[in-house]
Amino acid sequence: MKKTTLSLVIAALMAQAARASEQLAPVIVYANLPQNASLISAKQLQNAGIGNKNINELLTTLPSVRTSSSSGSGQTLGEIAPQNLSFYGERYYNNNFMVNGISTNDNINPIGLGENGVLSRDRTLTIDPEWLPSGHPQAFWLNPDLLKQVKVFDSNVPSRYGYFTGGVVDAELDDPDFSRPSGFISYRTTRSAWVKFHLDGQYRDAFHQAHSPLMQPKFVKHQYSLKLNQPLSNHSALLFAYERQTAEIPQHHQYLKYWVDQKRRNETFLVRYKNDWNDNNTLLATLMYSPHIGDYHMDNVKNGGFRESGGGFLGSLNWKNYNSLGLLSTELAYRQTKNQTKYAANLLENYALTPSIDWVSDPDPDYGFARRGGIGKRYTTQENVLLKQELAFNALQLGNHRHKFTLGWEYHHNRSALKQPEMAIQYSGARQYYGQDEHYRPFDLADCTDCIPKEQYATGKTIYHPLTGKVKHNKFALYLEDEWKWKDLTLTPGLRLDYGQFLNQFNLAPRFHLDYDLKGQDKTHFIAGLNRYYADDLLDYQLRSSFNFYDEYNRYDYEDGWSHSESKLNIKYKGAKLKTPYSDEVNLGLSHKIANSLWKLKWVQRQSKQQFMTRIDYEASPQQRWLSNGGRTTTNNVSLSAQSLTPWKTRWAELGWEFAISYQKSKSNQTVDYTQRDWQDYDIEKMLYKGKLQPISQMPAQRFNQPWTAALKINTYFPGLNLAWLHVVNYQSGSRHFSRTGTRCSADIAACGDYRGLVARVTEVKYPREITLDWNFIWKKRLTDTQALSLNLSVLNVLNHVAKAERVTEDAGDSYYQTYKPGRQFWLGAKYEW
């Protein structure tokens, strides 16, 4: 797309003079919801100018949220996985993402796609039989077009929500509508030709050659959505929706000398049925199937394609009953998700470069080889049957006191498993000669096994046996909450009691929230809270403990025949007595209405304790690994947010705005995730940082560590042009990238003083600040009273700002190249509604 496209589109839209009764484009609304939730409405979800169009991208401007310090690299723009989010410095896999109040978290291998949502480079370079299929913290990647609204709880979270230490994101699916048949169909697209890439000079040529799956100079993305609503009677209706997002990313195999297409796909099929039996009873049934796949290729491996897939099925039946006590909600749900790695073959062969081999995986003249195939498939599954009830009592007035009690319980019947259904074989060590002493000669046998006749034979064979691992991790929770109002004071005490079979622990989480209306005019509110949140189960290591020993066979000479050399397992994962990780929260805030705006000032402190880390025994054979509770994090966040309450209207336009700024400081002894080795293994208690000797617990956050973030959204709607124009200005102070090395304190290091022992030396590189401007245009033409056509243009990074992303280390480890975030990017879309 040429740079003149934007001006041409605007000029065309300016020619339209028909007036439409449309509302302002989106802002995130901090509505008067209980416990300070943020609410994103359906119109805001549908109209937001975002890239991959998932929920996470809408949340990045919240003052409580930080994104990965190395996320958003322009070299992987073809990917479609949602980027990961950290609330108040908590680990990105410790949030609770829900659909209609049902958790959709993946707690087997949530770090499989990494903090940036991109498959590790190692997965396309080598094959490790002790890998798990790659997961993501969210089992379902939902398109906002399917949703009615999204509630976000980042502090003072109600007691009905559990199994998190970060934030809660509850996405509510769209309901069937009784009033009339309706629906929409939409399409949206972008491609590499519509993006301005910023590239390091020495890296430019390598990027455009696309020899790595992480180098994506060419890509095409498509998004399709369809929604059909059909009333069945005056009190029942059926809703069907389908959403599909695809990406194609060419990759060139340097030595195979041909191109392949990497593919990504995310789909959702949704059916909902709603029936209002009478004024007091409503039934809502939901069926949803939402898979996602990624097709990859091993570097220069013939028939080396493999597919990483995830997602699954969700079904629920919800009954709401309004009775003399209040509202009784009953829900029965079933969820099944599956992550799978499936190679194109069950046999992995490594050949020498002999005449019949017409491909090359490595052309090294001394050690070159040709590789073909893979090691079959392996998958993990999670099955959950959920039964829960909640009774929201009618308000009880006792003199000047009003109480609104909520009582609920939930039971989760959980089964998780790891399975490799078939045996896989790997051949290695190809030789072209055989025989001993004077009989040593080129391999010339025509009748042979595990060989290429008259050319070569394998001297190594590894057999990976089928495996099955299972875990039962049932859970039960009981919660109680009371919204107690006395004059201008509202207190909301709550308790949540959880029992988890996996860790065999009871956890009691107190929740307390205070809201004081200072003058009784609903203008100025003082808020405060004290809360505890407990994390969910983490099944990664437990399922890895089911890995089998694999058998290795060898034959140095073909005439020797195969002999069993050893049964091998590199790492043995074992259980340990663990406590449930938790986070304690303290918060204070003040909100005030000024004219037509609402302003909020808030401070939140999180102290995260007993977080999972890894202990390692290198002396054992095989190596032993297990989880510990050694992780600690302390985060302080101060934020100021404001928004217009109603649009400011003139003769020509309507304008709304929203603003948020926050400062956050985190200290943690965790550098990456739960796979980080516990500092106890190194006998390290202190670090050298900025020339000072400090406790290791005071280490600054290594990831998701932008101190300052700010966002300004201005929504302008021109009724005479049927045009909505959204401006989003984002600011991030420079993130910090750290490196750590071990050293020993001695008298030669002045900062050590009298301390002697091992310490971690922490050094940092600060990146420049980032300021970006995004635009989103929506032109909507009303065709009839019930039909409309809209065109959409999104321009991301309008000013083509240059911002650094991550440093990528070369294979040798001695050098690196700098990657950058994408420059200006265009998305185009159209939508027809009826």
pTM for the full predicted model: 0.92
* Band of pLDDT at residue 631, cut at 50, 70 and 90: very high
* Band of pLDDT at residue 295, cut at 50, 70 and 90: very high
pLDDT tens, residue by residue, 153-185: 999 999 999 999 999 999 999 999 999 999 999
What's the token pair of residue 595?
């004219």
* Band of pLDDT at residue 570, cut at 50, 70 and 90: confident
pLDDT tens, residue by residue, 397-428: 998 999 999 999 999 999 999 999 999 999 99
* Band of pLDDT at residue 809, cut at 50, 70 and 90: low
Q: What is the pLDDT of residue 14?
A: 35
Would you call 752 helix, strand, or coil by DSSP? Answer: helix
pLDDT over threshold 50, residue 23: no
pLDDT over threshold 50, residue 438: yes
Strands 489-500 and 85-87, how do they pair? unpaired
pLDDT tens, residue by residue, 744-772: 999 899 999 999 999 999 998 888 899 99
Mean pLDDT of 502-526: 95
Question: How many C-beta atoms lie closer than 10 Å to residue 189's C-beta?
Answer: 16
Query: Can you tell me the distance from the alpha carbon of 111 to that of 93, in angstroms, rounded to the nearest whole number?
Result: 7
pLDDT over threshold 50, residue 339: yes
Which stretches does DSSP call E strand in 100-235? Answer: 102-103, 147-153, 168-173, 182-191, 220-233
Beta-carbon contacts of 618 under 8 Å, excluding residues fewer than 6 positions away, are none
Query: Can you tell me the distance from the alpha carbon of 113 to that of 71, in angstroms, rounded to the nearest whole number?
Result: 12
Burial class (CB in 10 A: 0-12, 13-18, 19+), 17: exposed
Q: What is the pLDDT of residue 35?
A: 44
Percent of the chain beyond pLDDT 70?
Answer: 95
Percent of the chain beyond pLDDT 90?
Answer: 77
Closest CA to 231 of 274, 271, 270, 269: 274
The residue ranges of every structural domain in the chain are 5-668+704-734+769-833
Low-confidence winner among 252-261, 297-306, 326-335, 670-679 (lowest mean pLDDT) = 670-679
Burial class (CB in 10 A: 0-12, 13-18, 19+), 817: middle
Tell me what the pLDDT averaged over the chain comes to. 91
Is the sign of the CA dihedral 600, 603, 607, 611 positive or negative?
A: positive
Point out which residues pair with 729 in neighbouring strands. Answer: 712, 773
Q: What is the pLDDT of residue 738?
A: 87
Q: Hunting for tokens 């202190």 — which residue is that?
A: 686
* Band of pLDDT at residue 554, cut at 50, 70 and 90: very high
Beta-carbon contacts of 785 under 8 Å, excluding residues fewer than 6 positions away, are none
Q: What is the pLDDT of residue 31?
A: 39
Query: Can you tell me the distance from the alpha carbon of 82 to that of 65, in angstroms, rounded to the nearest whole number?
Result: 14
Question: How many C-beta atoms lie closer than 10 Å to residue 813's C-beta?
Answer: 7
Q: What is the pLDDT of residue 9?
A: 36
Residues in the chain: 834
* Band of pLDDT at residue 292, cut at 50, 70 and 90: very high
* Band of pLDDT at residue 49, cut at 50, 70 and 90: low
Full DSSP string of 639-705? EEEEEESS-EE-SS-EEEEEEEEEEEEEEES-SSSTTSBPGGGGT--EEEETTEEEEGGGPBPSSS-
pLDDT over threshold 90, residue 612: yes
Buried b (16+ CB within 10 A) or exposed e, 753-786: eeeeeebbebeeeebeebebbbbbbbbbebeeee
Mean pLDDT of 211-224: 94
Can the peptide bond before residue 695 be classed as cis, meaning omega within 30 degrees of 0?
A: no
Q: Are 185 and 831 in contact (CB under 8 A)?
A: yes
Q: Which CATH architecture has domain 5-668+704-734+769-833?
A: Beta Barrel (2.40)
* Band of pLDDT at residue 367, cut at 50, 70 and 90: confident
Would you call 64 helix, strand, or coil by DSSP? Answer: coil
pLDDT over threshold 70, residue 805: yes
Q: Are 91 and 533 in contact (CB under 8 A)?
A: no
